[in-house]
Structure 1
Amino acid sequence: MFSLTLRADAYPQRRDWQDLPWLDRIGEGLRVRLRARVALRAGRRLAVADQVEAEEARLDALDDAARAAALTDLRRLLRRDGFADDRLVAQAFATVRRESRRLLGKAHFGTQIQGAWVLLHGNIAEMNTGEGKSLTATLAAATAALAGMKVHIVTVNDYLAERDRDEFGPLYAALGLGCAFVGEAATPEEKAAAYRADIVYCSNKTIVFDYLRDRLALADRMQPLRLALDGMLGAQRRHLLHGLQFAIVDEADSVFVDEARTPLIISAARQSVEAETFYREAIALAGQLVADTDFTLDPQRHQVSLTEPGRQRLPALAAAVTASPVWRSVLRTEEACVLALQALHAFRRDIHYIVRDDKVMIVDEHTGRVMPDRSWERGLQQLIEVKEGVAVSPEKETLGRISYQMFFRRYLRLSGMSGTCREVSGELADVYGLGVVRIPPHRPSRRLRLPARLFATGDARWQAVVDSVVAHSRQGRPVLVGTRSIAASEDLSARLAAAGIAHQVLNAKQDEQEAALVASAGDAGQVTIATNMAGRGTDIKLGDAVRTAGGLHVILTELHDASRVDRQLAGRCARMGDPGSWEEILSLDDELVAGMLPVLRGWLAARLAGGGPSGPWHALALGLYRRAQMRTEKRHAGIRGFLLRADFRSRAALSFTGEME
């Protein structure tokens, strides 16, 4: 019995998360990719979509009593047999699709049925931006819930999770399924009640931190036998989740890949006057060191290295700054000084963080959103707070930690959706056991790509951006300009204002207004400047006049560390068969190429300044720019792999049970 296997464990989850030998890892990754290509091939997906159409026609011919009886039989069969039978899955999809048409006025397209079938079988469905991934998820979620699984639909923020719960809650209710939203700010009592629902919408951060809280509450009682004994003896400890059974992760590449380098940590505050004094002294000491003489800086890696003259100067400088005995250790002095130099020079306001309400808040480099609940480790947070002159937060004592890589591997069945994940399909197969299946668009794409332009300086690039904005907005087309940082968005805003061009700015400082700003970004002639945050989970709707004028035009002003982020932003235009266009207007001053062979970069800049964005030198410079992006992507993939292996090594070294958090 399919559902009985879930009831055998009081907290069901995968418990075989050991690291495989390298040869087995390669073999498993190949198996996953081959299965996605063969078992989920296009012919079989189309056959399922046709079956759904036929099953829905059969349901339409029944009366209400017969349909209710059919739903009861369907639930029983799914709980007994699971999802192995395509005919049974088609019946479930048809039932959900019919109710969606009746209640929401939305019937799933054939491509959405294909995507949901891919999700149900534990894979990632790559669907173009605007193809209706949220509606697609309802088919797989409702079918899994009818089979007795607790389903978590994971989105990138609370706003999207609550929006989808409100929209699709009536659909699930009509099928006899409970649906709830778990917000980050909810109380433990509210969360415990919400997690009892069949289908739960939540953000990736919320679900991971709630799992860590459960591990802290259950401690060594997390094992199935111990939980069963506690239940029999009436001593079961309180926890929030009901295990990790089935997850559908929206924007899967962002969660599984982009955020995989950041561990999630539950900590307790530890106030210390001595520590605050130490951080202030470290900033004062680092402020006396001279760049390129006492230290060197790698801006791309945010790394600082002391030179030999700098090391020799440190003891005398430290003695002049403070008489505290903590600075007598040469190793501690050098470590604290390097960290303080990073705070002073490697992390910049309105790029890596903002200051709001007398607090330093990290800005997510991949989404452009503020992360008020996160802080840097090892004292970096406190050092940046000293640098900015805000209240210094207490040090944190780690109580529990886990990475996204480790957490999501623990679901009994894991799936995801994204518009941009083919570039990392190998990593997704190797780390998560997920195949990537490309779902064709419902309507052919009409997206037009204009030639990329690369300029010698940032000023020349911004002038070209302003000219492009003017040219396209005069045609009655809306224009979306993507920037990499808050500072860049505000710089461009000032230039557009000086040119008399009305516009709106969407960055981490206006994240609470995101939905309203994006809703108006498709108006005729509207100009919107946005950081990455406009590229995930929101929809820019166009009117008929805008479609006639050519649709939305997107300008990328700087490439990101991952080409997927650029593709996601370009995907804001020409959605669902609409017209649209996009272009890249770049500069050799961009952060991505800052560390690329300065002599060669200067030589190319001189030739671009004379010849403009065309010709052989332009092609060579553009090729080097893209090579720098590929090199950065490869380095980040290496870091993620190293961190995953380090997690496995730590678990083996620190715990007899094989569990570290």
Structure 2
Amino acid sequence: MSSAVLPYSSRLWARGSPYAERTRPELHWHDRAALAIDAACFAPLRDLLQRDLRVMRRVARDALARSEALDALPDEVLRAQATALRARLRAQGYTPELVAESFALIRTAAGRCLGLRHFESQLMAGYALLRGRLAEMATGEGKTFCATLPACTVALAGYPVHVITVNDYLAKRDAAKMKPLYDFLGLSVGVVFQGQEKPLRRLAYAQDITYATNKEVAFDYLRDRVAVKGQGSRLHQAARLLRGQAAHEEALVMRGLYYALVDEADSVFIDEARTPLILSASRGAAEELADCAAALELAAQLEEGEDYLVERQIHRVLLTDSGQARLDAYAEERAAELGGIWTSARAREERLRQALAAIHLYLRDEHYVVAEGKVQIVDESTGRLMPDRSWERGLHQMIEAKERVEPTPRRETLARLTYQRLFRRYLHLSGMTGTAAEAAREIRTVYGLQVVRVPLNKPSRRVHLPNRLLPTQAAKWQAVAQAASALAAAGRPVLIGTRSVKASEEISAVLHAQGITHALLNAKQDADEAAVVAEAGQAGRVTVATNMAGRGTDIELGEGVDARGGLHVILTEFHDSGRVDRQLFGRCARQGDAGSCQAIVSLQDDIYTVAVPGPTAFLQRVLQQGTRLPAWTCGALRWLAQWTTERRHTALRIANLKQDTQLNQSLAFTGKGE
């Protein structure tokens, strides 16, 4: 973030004006060299080259020295200094000296209000966030508390701050936990969450600091964009705002996109960025059940490989000539009975492909669950339910027909946007996460954010046990159960991570069969997620959790657990990205605690059978012959599968961004673009 006075008129951002997207700042050659270095192999050299680290450390130590001098001052004097700091920050910008003064004041106030004081690595990360960087902080290093440093500094300067988290629970928890500090400094705080009424949302965004999830911010922005449609081009809107004419202001809830601090930024910027954000409205209760039933009936009669091809790697179904001929014959035979879309070759082909996708690509307890008589989508990156979301273009209704639940009305698209373009519209953007090195290039290219790795506050004591690669799912679950049983008997807590609801229930059944007491946490039991995860560090406790359930919740070790080796984490299936694997492993050995982790996987896992089917089939034949695989095989196959998958996902994100940009440019000629 530049130290200069901020360039945009406060009138424009305060009233929700749309912004041009940010351009990428130029990097110093030191930082370009650091970015080019492979993080896994040459992390020390990369960190040495990063010039940012030296500046961050200097500011942090200056703040620590200033904070010691403030300890003897009474509360009234500290509050007066916070008031005086406002005008100086607004006039001078975020210079290193002024930032150190602000951080020292915030650190001292936090010690009095919260009983917590920022340590050096958190102060370093805070400065990186204020400079518009993505700070990579290891799991358990206190990212939530660290976020108060840049959030308070920017808010004291008089600009609105959005602290963006991955779920409503964390947004509410973090805002409530940090509110005493904000109150002490004279700052207001609001929370935006799912189901909140519009007036309350507007009030929450009007506060100095607003906590919200990425999805709530995105859809509030889209709703505001729809609300100002018909108000003319961006130039006309900006001109009216400068003249004080904003007839549509009451229809808006946000007051612009100024500074965003994104927690778990890799999940938001990368994992969730593969799917465009679509705002839709019901088109009415048109009856589609008969069409969906007919399409599913025909789909069940077709033969895979002969009538259609399922490309699971790119999540697509293609009809062959044989399948097309059978569709045409089916439509001709039942045209009089069905009518409607079945008289259109293009429409009936799309409907049949949707039926095939619903059967083969969208799986129950993996991509969705059926709860309360409804099909509810499971967020693949977090394992949580998204009850207010639906698939578009009739796919959701097709899956409802497949599951024989009451269909919901189809929805019409009102607006669409990608996360890539949304976050580039913030004037200033920063983020923090435990794992970003693997995606540093894409984050730099797309969002203009340089990844800075923050040193650990305490040396890590995590022990990585050798990976185990087993031939079948059944053998894997037995091995996981045996390992969990032995560790729990020794008084160590065990956290078993799975990728899907179905997998969590499979290992739960095996544990039950062996009499192993455990807690199960997945999208069907997410109401007490934080409480279940927080207890996962007690002696002898076994916890099964989907994906990154409880992300953002500390697992504190029970009495005597550290001496026995700490929490042990078992990964039961590698994820599409090694970043998510590292997040799961990062649940153990936090803040210098003892801990260990191990991957126990099988050749029947989707990451292998979908991404690298050829090498996987070869290794399965080798194992069937009784040959023992060398230890490096699991790591090599994992690297190949994740590299293949990540390339595909990156291409998909780039395609979404290009499509969104092209659509916006084409609409700009009519005055409808933004």
Which interval holds the TM-score relative to the shorter structure?
Answer: over 0.9
**Closer, same or farther: CA 236–651 of 1 in aligned 2, 3 Å:** closer
Partner of residue 228, structure 2: 218
Q: Find out whether 1:7 has 2:10 as its counterpart.
A: yes
Q: Find out whether 1:481 has 2:502 as its counterpart.
A: no
User: What SS class does the counterpart of residue 162 from structure 2 fall into?
Assistant: strand
Instruction: Give the letter aligned to residue 100 of structure 1.
Output: A
Instruction: Give the letter aligned to residue 189 of structure 1.
Output: P
Question: How big is the shift at 1:604?
Answer: 1.7
User: What SS class does the counterpart of residue 601 from structure 1 fall into?
Assistant: helix
My pick for the range that moved more, 562-571 or 643-652, is 643-652
Partner of residue 94, structure 1: 104
Check whether the contact 1:154–1:204 (CA below 8 A) recurs between aligned residues: yes
Quote the Cα distance in structure 2 between the aligned partners of 1:564 and 1:29: 26
**Closer, same or farther: CA 3–642 of 1 in aligned 2, 3 Å:** closer
Check whether the contact 2:31–2:51 (CA below 8 A) recurs between aligned residues: no
Partner of residue 505, structure 1: 520
Give the counterpart of 1:572 among 568, 572, 587. Answer: 587
**Closer, same or farther: CA 407–33 of 1 in aligned 2, 3 Å:** farther
Q: Find out whether 1:77 has 2:80 as its counterpart.
A: no
Quote the Cα distance in structure 2 between the aligned partners of 1:90 and 1:599: 56
Question: How big is the shift at 1:271?
Answer: 2.2
Question: How big is the shift at 1:228?
Answer: 5.7
Question: How big is the shift at 1:233?
Answer: 4.7
Partner of residue 277, structure 2: 264
Partner of residue 172, structure 1: 182
Partner of residue 64, structure 2: 53
Instruction: Give the letter aligned to residue 183 of structure 1.
Output: F
My pick for the range that moved more, 159-168 or 30-39, is 30-39
Check whether the contact 1:122–1:434 (CA below 8 A) recurs between aligned residues: yes
Give the counterpart of 2:249 among 223, 229, 237. Answer: 237
Check whether the contact 2:106–2:149 (CA below 8 A) recurs between aligned residues: yes
User: What SS class does the counterpart of residue 393 from structure 1 fall into?
Assistant: coil
Quote the Cα distance in structure 2 between the aligned partners of 1:597 and 1:147: 52
Q: Find out whether 1:309 has 2:330 as its counterpart.
A: no
Question: How big is the shift at 1:226?
Answer: 3.2
Partner of residue 21, structure 2: 17
Give the share of equivalent positions with the same residue, in percent.
47
Quote the Cα distance in structure 2 between the aligned partners of 1:561 and 1:75: 45
User: What SS class does the counterpart of residue 583 from structure 1 fall into?
Assistant: strand
Superposed CA deviations along residues 559-597 of structure 1, whole A, max 9, x for unmatched, are 111111111001100000001111111111111111356
Check whether the contact 1:29–1:429 (CA below 8 A) recurs between aligned residues: no
Quote the Cα distance in structure 1 between the aligned partners of 2:199 and 2:258: 21
Give the counterpart of 1:352 among 367, 374, 377. Answer: 367
Instruction: Give the letter aligned to residue 215 of structure 1.
Output: R
Partner of residue 531, structure 1: 546
Quote the Cα distance in structure 2 between the aligned partners of 1:604 and 1:235: 67
Instruction: Give the letter aligned to residue 426 of structure 1.
Output: R
User: What SS class does the counterpart of residue 367 from structure 1 fall into?
Assistant: coil
Instruction: Give the letter aligned to residue 470 of structure 2.
Output: F
- Cα RMSD (Å): 2.4
**Closer, same or farther: CA 475–234 of 1 in aligned 2, 3 Å:** closer
Question: How big is the shift at 1:264?
Answer: 1.4
Partner of residue 401, structure 1: 416
Quote the Cα distance in structure 1 between the aligned partners of 2:431 and 2:447: 11
Question: How big is the shift at 1:195?
Answer: 1.1
Check whether the contact 2:539–2:559 (CA below 8 A) recurs between aligned residues: no
Quote the Cα distance in structure 1 between the aligned partners of 2:11 and 2:180: 31
User: What SS class does the counterpart of residue 594 from structure 1 fall into?
Assistant: helix
**Closer, same or farther: CA 439–657 of 1 in aligned 2, 3 Å:** farther
Superposed CA deviations along residues 362-420 of structure 1, whole A, max 9, x for unmatched, are 11111111111111122111100000001111111111111111100001110000000
Quote the Cα distance in structure 1 between the aligned partners of 2:78 and 2:621: 73
User: What SS class does the counterpart of residue 360 from structure 2 fall into?
Assistant: helix
Instruction: Give the letter aligned to residue 376 of structure 2.
Output: M
Quote the Cα distance in structure 1 between the aligned partners of 2:285 and 2:523: 31
Check whether the contact 1:221–1:227 (CA below 8 A) recurs between aligned residues: no
Superposed CA deviations along residues 498-545 of structure 1, whole A, max 9, x for unmatched, are 011001111111111101211211111111111113262121110231
Report how many aligned residue pairs link the two structures. Answer: 653
User: What SS class does the counterpart of residue 586 from structure 1 fall into?
Assistant: strand
Quote the Cα distance in structure 2 between the aligned partners of 1:383 and 1:601: 33
TM-score of the superposed pair, with normalisation by structure 1:
0.94
Give the counterpart of 1:147 among 157, 167, 174. Answer: 157
Instruction: Give the letter aligned to residue 497 of structure 1.
Output: H
Quote the Cα distance in structure 2 between the aligned partners of 1:32 and 1:403: 28
Instruction: Give the letter aligned to residue 82 of structure 1.
Output: G
Quote the Cα distance in structure 2 between the aligned partners of 1:216 and 1:30: 43
Q: Find out whether 1:649 has 2:653 as its counterpart.
A: no
Partner of residue 145, structure 2: 135
Check whether the contact 2:488–2:494 (CA below 8 A) recurs between aligned residues: yes
Alignment of 1:280-319 (within 5 A): 280-319=293-332
Give the counterpart of 1:414 among 429, 436, 447. Answer: 429
Quote the Cα distance in structure 2 between the aligned partners of 1:607 and 1:51: 61
User: What SS class does the counterpart of residue 581 from structure 2 fall into?
Assistant: helix
Check whether the contact 1:551–1:581 (CA below 8 A) recurs between aligned residues: yes
Quote the Cα distance in structure 1 between the aligned partners of 2:577 and 2:554: 22
Check whether the contact 2:530–2:550 (CA below 8 A) recurs between aligned residues: no
**Closer, same or farther: CA 536–112 of 1 in aligned 2, 3 Å:** same
Superposed CA deviations along residues 539-560 of structure 1, whole A, max 9, x for unmatched, are 1110231111100101111111
**Closer, same or farther: CA 233–595 of 1 in aligned 2, 3 Å:** closer
**Closer, same or farther: CA 366–235 of 1 in aligned 2, 3 Å:** closer
Give the counterpart of 2:649 among 625, 636, 657. Answer: 636
Quote the Cα distance in structure 2 between the aligned partners of 1:516 and 1:629: 32
Quote the Cα distance in structure 2 between the aligned partners of 1:67 and 1:554: 44
User: What SS class does the counterpart of residue 469 from structure 2 fall into?
Assistant: strand
Alignment of 1:541-580 (within 5 A): 541-580=556-595
Question: How big is the shift at 1:336?
Answer: 1.6
**Closer, same or farther: CA 237–13 of 1 in aligned 2, 3 Å:** closer
**Closer, same or farther: CA 508–461 of 1 in aligned 2, 3 Å:** same
**Closer, same or farther: CA 350–409 of 1 in aligned 2, 3 Å:** same
Partner of residue 38, structure 2: none
TM-score of the superposed pair, with normalisation by structure 2:
0.92
**Closer, same or farther: CA 599–534 of 1 in aligned 2, 3 Å:** closer
Superposed CA deviations along residues 608-660 of structure 1, whole A, max 9, x for unmatched, are 24547x543x6346523430121001110111111111111111122227764
Quote the Cα distance in structure 2 between the aligned partners of 1:315 and 1:367: 41
Partner of residue 185, structure 1: 195
Check whether the contact 2:30–2:51 (CA below 8 A) recurs between aligned residues: no
Question: How big is the shift at 1:303?
Answer: 1.9
Quote the Cα distance in structure 2 between the aligned partners of 1:644 and 1:517: 38
My pick for the range that moved more, 121-130 or 368-377, is 368-377
Check whether the contact 2:275–2:656 (CA below 8 A) recurs between aligned residues: no
Instruction: Give the letter aligned to residue 232 of structure 1.
Output: G
Q: Find out whether 1:250 has 2:260 as its counterpart.
A: no
Structure 2 runs not aligned, ≥5 long:
36-46
Quote the Cα distance in structure 2 between the aligned partners of 1:30 and 1:534: 39
User: What SS class does the counterpart of residue 533 from structure 1 fall into?
Assistant: coil
**Closer, same or farther: CA 4–121 of 1 in aligned 2, 3 Å:** closer
Quote the Cα distance in structure 2 between the aligned partners of 1:88 and 1:596: 51
Quote the Cα distance in structure 2 between the aligned partners of 1:299 and 1:226: 45
Instruction: Give the letter aligned to residue 240 of structure 2.
Output: L
Instruction: Give the letter aligned to residue 159 of structure 2.
Output: M
Quote the Cα distance in structure 2 between the aligned partners of 1:283 and 1:514: 36
User: What SS class does the counterpart of residue 77 from structure 1 fall into?
Assistant: helix
Alignment of 1:106-117 (within 5 A): 106-117=116-127
Superposed CA deviations along residues 438-461 of structure 1, whole A, max 9, x for unmatched, are 001110001100001111111111
Quote the Cα distance in structure 2 between the aligned partners of 1:428 and 1:111: 22
Check whether the contact 2:90–2:158 (CA below 8 A) recurs between aligned residues: yes
